Structure 1
Amino acid sequence: MFVLKVDFAYNLFKLKEKQIKKGNSMSYIKSSLLAASAFVLIAPTAFGAGFQLKEQSASLQGLSFAGASAKADDASVMYFNPAGITRLKGKQAYGTVSLIKPSTKFDQDESQFSAQTAPAGATHTVNDGEGGDAGSLAAVPAAYVKAELDNDVHIGFAVNTPFGLTTEYDDGWVGRYHALKSELLTINMAPTVAWKVNENWSFGASANIQYAEAELTNATASGGGTDLFTKLKGDDIGFGFRLGALYEPTDKTRIGVAYHSGIHHELTGEVKSYSGSTVVSNIAAKAKLRTPDIASLGVYHELNDRWAVMSELAWTNWSTFEYLTVQNRDTSANLSSIEEKWNDSYFMALGAEFHPCDYPNRAWQFGIAYDKTPVEDEYRTFRIPDEDRLWLSVGYGHEWENKSFHIGYSHIIANEADVVEDESSTAKGVVAGSFDANVNILSANFTMKF
């Protein structure tokens, strides 16, 4: 279930406060991220493969993000390809929000608990519930501003949430010893600069300053049918970059390429176990998390005054996500380790945009995309029950002299995701079944030009 992160700004404040007390020179960055957190306060779930969030632009939502690296007709391009802002004249401010309603339901095949975890002390099939619907309505915002230093040099700034994940099951569900809540939230700030070399070539770069916060919870069997509640929570700030190039062989064709670097995080926090409201253990912990490298290629072409077509191909380096390991911060001993063994994934999209003859300032958009999961069936978990996705999208845009509005809708259909956990664990029991999931996304943006 999606949750409103009203405590997120507070957590950032406490992190900032600790750094100031230590005299850390990064306190200015913490302060800046604190200000950004006032804008991004809602924890999203992942709707790209893995835990990537593609919902960064309403003007591309209706295209299923086809041509995201090449279309370059508003400030949101700086997330997908920073070189694209050289096509935008003057100053521009762009704000967008995506309302996302997923449905993720688990259908249990058969589940068995060990003698330790079974309330009656014997291995048996249990029917403690299938966890309910793990998805509910959420909002994911993003904001971009850009300006010209001169005709050839452009600058910009972006605040968004490029990665996020929330799955949350009912407390008494059958898989509670494997997962209850899994949450990852990122906030990314990206100062950007781009240079138009000539009429054909532009290059751009962004510096990524990223805050990440994660929370993992599950039940722990303590014997006699009594469950403990275990929670891991940690955060970190990491740094990365984006590079982009835009080639315009004609005034009707654009080709864009971009690279997003991975960002290394070492999340630090605590693992606490509770019996009711009483803390029975508290261990300083750490966990490494690396967001993936992403490389993309986009093409945009105007067929005539009414029609334009576009495409996008993206590769994501998810194969770096091999294990989710939590360690004791003091001794570096493993507290838990989950084998993930993800593969690299790809995203392919095709889109078209239509301008009616009598209303050239209006546009209808259509898009389809295939999003390949990085998760092998053998390693799929309840924390991220990911599968391949098909995107179907439609959008509408209206432009005036100094402002524009776009709205986009996507329906995402995920393949059935089979999960079997954990055949080797005597404490957690075997839980087997499948997930049926789909997502509806409605995005809107407003742009002002100065």
Structure 2
Amino acid sequence: MQNNINKLAIAIAAASAALISGQAAAGGFQLNEQSVSSQGTAFAGRTSNVTDASIVFGNPAGMSFLDRAQITAGATYLNVNTDIDNASGTTALGTPVTPASNEGDMVPSETIPFGYFVQPINDHLHFGLGVYAPFGVVTDYEDDFEGRYFGNYSDVKVMTVQPTLSIKFSDQLSAGFGITYNRIEGELESATYGGPFGDGSFNVQGDDEAFGFTFGMMYKPVESTTLGVTYRSDVDYELEGDAEINNVYPGAGPGTLPNASYDAGLDITLPETIDFSVTHDLNDRWTVMAGAALVKWSSFDRLVIENDSPLGDQTENQDYEDAWQYALGVAYHVNPAVTLRGGVAYDESPISDEVRTVRVPSGDRTIFSLGAGWTPTPNLTLDFAYTYLTEDTAPVSQQSQTTAASYEADYENEAHGFGAQATYRF
């Protein structure tokens, strides 16, 4: 029975860690898909380029430079492809995993929506409201996945609602502040080796709500140049949920353990971000943008898992690293109604080879984007964007802390993003 308790505690730890892990379209499991007009320039100029109400997310200070009330809403459809090569795995007894497959493509296609509203209060104050997804992941491996003992299913979503105010000090300077209400929920599962009794499973579900804040400044030293900086706070979560076992073989004594559910909890912190960019109008036709963002992933250094098992609380080291994101973009204004966009970005992964897992098989990323905006009437703008993302080869090498289970493979990830949004001005 003690052996089983150890296995259960480790499974809770691994599954809880995956609550904040996965593949997405920015570094680690952070999402970039909060604006299609920004997507077209690979998110360069996100904090300094004011085009529509999605600036509520990019830089709340930018609301002060919108002259009318407006609504912006849209979504990005993500299609992720993964190849798994050079794979090998062993069970808890050190024997080869059978059956064993490594099909890859474990990330189903997802649509990520967002919406924003901005209302001028007077010449100096603007109110805004945003709803968007800052983090998220869905990974669903096939039943015979060779690394299933380290994770075979993840479904985690973070949703944020952000009421915001901005103040315009002058035609050159503004500031904005927003409170973020954040909700996280997820379900994760790992297979367990059962020998003659077949595989079992550990399933963990949890959720929580928490608050954070965002703050931004925007400054125009000259009419053609805009500087912007945005700070997004870290957010502390105290997840509560259940850890369920099914058909678990204890490794000692006959038969499997009774199916059971344990209370489980986990305190985690999602990282703060400092985002800076500059937008410069070369002339009436050409605009160039550049940006850099620091994501403070080093705050995610360990997990402390609270559970009701006799083993007590467990600690898991994570050792993520701070990561930078860089972007360059350009916009060409064909005429007052049509704007063409393009951009390239590079995102460092916060995950080193030593801590990469099957739930987070991500490497450094290069992003290429194209986009267009069409304003058929002064009140309506339609934006479209396409993004291609490719990652460096991401080696995974996992070893169980208490058994002979292992899994090694090289992951090759790429993604295609198709975005569309509409802005209506009142």
- TM-score normalised by the chain length of structure 1: 0.84
Q: SS of the residue aligned with 1:355?
A: strand
- State how 1:337-348 maps to structure 2 within 5 Å: 337-348=315-326
Shifted more, 210-219 versus 141-150: the winner is 210-219
Amino acid across the alignment from 1:294: T
Note the alpha carbon deviations across 1:121-141, whole angstroms, 9 max, x for none.
x63465511154212221000
Amino acid across the alignment from 1:69: T
Amino acid across the alignment from 1:282: S
Deviation at 1:46, TM superposition (A): 1.6
Q: SS of the residue aligned with 1:314?
A: strand
Give the counterpart of 1:298 among 277, 287, 290: 277
Give the distance between the partners of 2:198 and 2:123, measured in 1 at CA: 69
Give the counterpart of 1:431 among 403, 407, 420: 407
Give the distance between the partners of 2:24 and 2:245, measured in 1 at CA: 27
Amino acid across the alignment from 2:220: E
Deviation at 1:424, TM superposition (A): 4.0
Match of 1:10 in 2: none
Alpha-carbon distance change, 85 to 279 in structure 1, aligned in 2, over 3 angstroms: farther
Note the alpha carbon deviations across 1:31-64, whole angstroms, 9 max, x for none.
xxxxxxxxxxxxx952111110000000011100
Give the counterpart of 2:72 among 66, 71, 94: 94
Give the distance between the partners of 2:118 and 2:408, measured in 1 at CA: 50
Q: SS of the residue aligned with 2:148?
A: coil
Amino acid across the alignment from 1:289: I
Give the counterpart of 1:445 among 400, 409, 421: 421
Match of 1:205 in 2: 177
Note the alpha carbon deviations across 1:196-230, whole angstroms, 9 max, x for none.
00111100000000010122210112342521111
Aligned residues of 1:73 and 1:87 also touching (Cα < 8 A): no
Match of 2:387 in 1: 410
Alpha-carbon distance change, 154 to 125 in structure 1, aligned in 2, over 3 angstroms: closer
RMSD: 1.9
Match of 1:149 in 2: 121
- State how 1:56-67 maps to structure 2 within 5 Å: 56-67=34-45
Match of 1:312 in 2: 291
Give the distance between the partners of 2:311 and 2:374, measured in 1 at CA: 56
Deviation at 1:236, TM superposition (A): 0.3
Alpha-carbon distance change, 188 to 233 in structure 1, aligned in 2, over 3 angstroms: same
Give the distance between the partners of 2:399 and 2:301, measured in 1 at CA: 17
Shifted more, 267-276 versus 370-379: the winner is 267-276
Question: Given the alignment of the two structures, is residue 77 of structure 1 paired with residue 59 of structure 2, yes or no?
Answer: no
Give the counterpart of 1:176 among 137, 145, 148: 148
Give the distance between the partners of 1:323 and 1:108, measured in 2 at CA: 29
Aligned residues of 2:81 and 2:104 also touching (Cα < 8 A): no
Note the alpha carbon deviations across 1:257-304, whole angstroms, 9 max, x for none.
01000000011000001239x971110000122110000111000000
Amino acid across the alignment from 1:261: S
Match of 1:288 in 2: 267
Q: Taking every aligned residue pair, what percent have the same amino acid on both sides? A: 30
Match of 2:356 in 1: 380
Match of 2:374 in 1: 398
Aligned residues of 1:270 and 1:283 also touching (Cα < 8 A): yes
Shifted more, 395-404 versus 365-374: the winner is 395-404
Give the distance between the partners of 2:366 and 2:134, measured in 1 at CA: 20
Match of 1:9 in 2: none
Alpha-carbon distance change, 325 to 134 in structure 1, aligned in 2, over 3 angstroms: farther
Give the distance between the partners of 1:248 and 1:353, measured in 2 at CA: 19
Give the counterpart of 1:193 among 134, 147, 165: 165
- State how 1:364-379 maps to structure 2 within 5 Å: 364-379=340-355
Aligned residues of 1:242 and 1:259 also touching (Cα < 8 A): yes
Note the alpha carbon deviations across 1:176-211, whole angstroms, 9 max, x for none.
110011222011001000000011110000000001
Aligned residues of 2:23 and 2:360 also touching (Cα < 8 A): no
Q: SS of the residue aligned with 1:90?
A: coil
Give the counterpart of 1:323 among 268, 279, 302: 302
Alpha-carbon distance change, 147 to 137 in structure 1, aligned in 2, over 3 angstroms: same
Deviation at 1:331, TM superposition (A): 7.6
Alpha-carbon distance change, 45 to 383 in structure 1, aligned in 2, over 3 angstroms: closer
Give the counterpart of 1:238 among 205, 210, 221: 210
Give the distance between the partners of 2:270 and 2:72, measured in 1 at CA: 26
Q: List gaps (5 residues or longer) in structure 1.
A: 1-43, 116-121
Give the counterpart of 1:361 among 332, 337, 341: 337
Match of 1:107 in 2: 85
Q: SS of the residue aligned with 2:164?
A: strand
Give the distance between the partners of 2:192 and 2:87, measured in 1 at CA: 22
Match of 2:10 in 1: none
- State how 1:243-258 maps to structure 2 within 5 Å: 243-258=215-230
The size of the alignment, in residue pairs, is: 396
Question: Given the alignment of the two structures, is residue 161 of structure 1 paired with residue 130 of structure 2, yes or no?
Answer: no
Alpha-carbon distance change, 420 to 181 in structure 1, aligned in 2, over 3 angstroms: same
Match of 1:28 in 2: none
Amino acid across the alignment from 1:375: I
Q: SS of the residue aligned with 2:372?
A: strand
Shifted more, 303-312 versus 219-228: the winner is 219-228
Aligned residues of 2:202 and 2:243 also touching (Cα < 8 A): yes
Deviation at 1:254, TM superposition (A): 0.4
Amino acid across the alignment from 2:29: F
Q: SS of the residue aligned with 2:354?
A: helix
Alpha-carbon distance change, 151 to 332 in structure 1, aligned in 2, over 3 angstroms: farther
Alpha-carbon distance change, 331 to 297 in structure 1, aligned in 2, over 3 angstroms: farther
Give the distance between the partners of 2:123 and 2:180, measured in 1 at CA: 25
Deviation at 1:73, TM superposition (A): 1.7
Give the distance between the partners of 1:98 and 1:127, measured in 2 at CA: 36
Deviation at 1:113, TM superposition (A): 2.4
Q: List gaps (5 residues or longer) in structure 2.
A: 1-21, 249-256
Alpha-carbon distance change, 53 to 78 in structure 1, aligned in 2, over 3 angstroms: same
**Higher RCO (CA-CA < 8 Å; seq separation 6+):** 2
- TM-score normalised by the chain length of structure 2: 0.89
Match of 2:4 in 1: none
Alpha-carbon distance change, 83 to 130 in structure 1, aligned in 2, over 3 angstroms: same
Note the alpha carbon deviations across 1:211-257, whole angstroms, 9 max, x for none.
10122210112342521111010000000000000001122110000
Aligned residues of 1:72 and 1:87 also touching (Cα < 8 A): yes
Deviation at 1:108, TM superposition (A): 3.8
Give the distance between the partners of 1:228 and 1:110, measured in 2 at CA: 21
